[in-house]
Amino acid sequence: MAKSMENNKAVKMLRAAEEGGYGVIGVVSYNLETITAVVRAAEAKKSPAQILLFPWALHYSPLLIHLAAAACSTAKVPVVLHMDHAQSEEEIIAAAEYPFDSIMVDMSHYEKEENLEKTERITKYLHERGIATEAEPGRINGGEDGVKDTGDLEGLLTTAEEATRFVDTGIDFLAPAFGNVHGNYGGVENIKLDFERLDKIREATKGKATLVLHGTNTFPDATMQGCIKGGMTRCNVNELVLFKYNDYVAKNTGKVPLTELMGKGTDLIQEQIEYQMDVMGSTGKA
């Protein structure tokens, strides 16, 4: 029997964020340290949170997915599991066998009509299984570790008209391209977001899908808060919470015991996540 979308935890979490005017952190997770840090931070801050895995996890080891799912089901506050940037139908079908609350149907490397057709068909497939979907109309530039490189495809800014067409496919979350970039902006001065465009996209999608933010590397607090004011509900972070950890691991691997490396590393990620929960206004909202 088809599962209902009524009780989807990710949809509920992001609708509550939209109503409450705060953002929920979505942490790109590659390992045990990050997953542990998400749960600890969420519990310490009494904040909702999301663990994000890339399709890389499917190929690396399903154990990472089971670990993340267990972290969500045992957390004392709402923490949900999202597959980010699933770029092929095969990966999405494989991911749907695991307890993901939502999956990003990222067909942005196809031309618009093909992106729409695939998004609609796969959304139906996932909804029948109680899994929420996210799509990316337009194309966010850049790339990151764990996501298949789509080559030199040019970035395309999302229009309100496109956003409407994508929302009509039945998706739950929409990731607009409004100047945001994956990976490195090459300096804070290069973060140039088109908030007027974001306003129009929000108008076109309001009440039908919630907006999610990609590409937050080196975001100043005010920029993050501006995006949330503009309607963003989940804010995806990667380097923004991992940079101290990455630096610490680079400097200390082989020099301190592994237990210390993992323990201190986890603390460094947790600190950054907690900081961002305050910035996003989700502290105390669980």
How many CB atoms within 10 Å of residue 242? 24
Tokens matching residue 134: 């996210």
Which span sits near ligand 13P by CB under 6 A: 39-47, 213-221, 257-265, 274-282?
Answer: 213-221
Residue 261 C-beta: closest distance to ligand 13P, Å: 23
The pattern of x and - marking residues 6 through 45 that bind ligand 13P according to CB under 6 A reads: ----------------------x-----------------
SS3 at position 174 = strand
Residue 215 C-beta-side C-alpha neighbours within 13 Å: 24
| Element containing residue 281 per DSSP (H, E) | none
240, 224 contact by CB (below 8 A) = no
Interface with ligand 13P (CB under 6 A), residue total 14
The pattern of x and - marking residues 236 through 255 that bind ligand 13P according to CB under 6 A reads: xxxx----------------
The pattern of x and - marking residues 168 through 207 that bind ligand 13P according to CB under 6 A reads: --------------xx------------------------
Does 84 participate in catalysis according to the annotation? yes
Question: Applying CB under 6 A, does 136 fall inside the site for ligand 13P?
Answer: no
The smaller minimum CB distance to ligand 13P, of residues 218 and 252, is found at 218
How many CB atoms within 10 Å of residue 72? 24
Residue 217 C-beta: closest distance to ligand 13P, Å: 4
152, 142 contact by CB (below 8 A) = no
152 assigned binding-site residue? no
Phi, psi of 87 (to 5 degrees): -105, 0
Query: What's 196-265 look like in SS3?
Result: HHHHHHHHHHCCCCEEEECCCCCCCHHHHHHHHHCCEEEEEECHHHHHHHHHHHHHHCCCCCHHHHHHHH
Question: Applying CB under 6 A, does 215 fall inside the site for ligand 13P?
Answer: yes
Question: Applying CB under 6 A, does 143 fall inside the site for ligand 13P?
Answer: no
Q: Quick one: which of 84, 162, 172, 274 contacts ligand 13P (CB under 6 A)?
A: 84
Annotated binding site for Zn(2+): 85, 106, 136, 182, 214
Cite the active site residues: 84
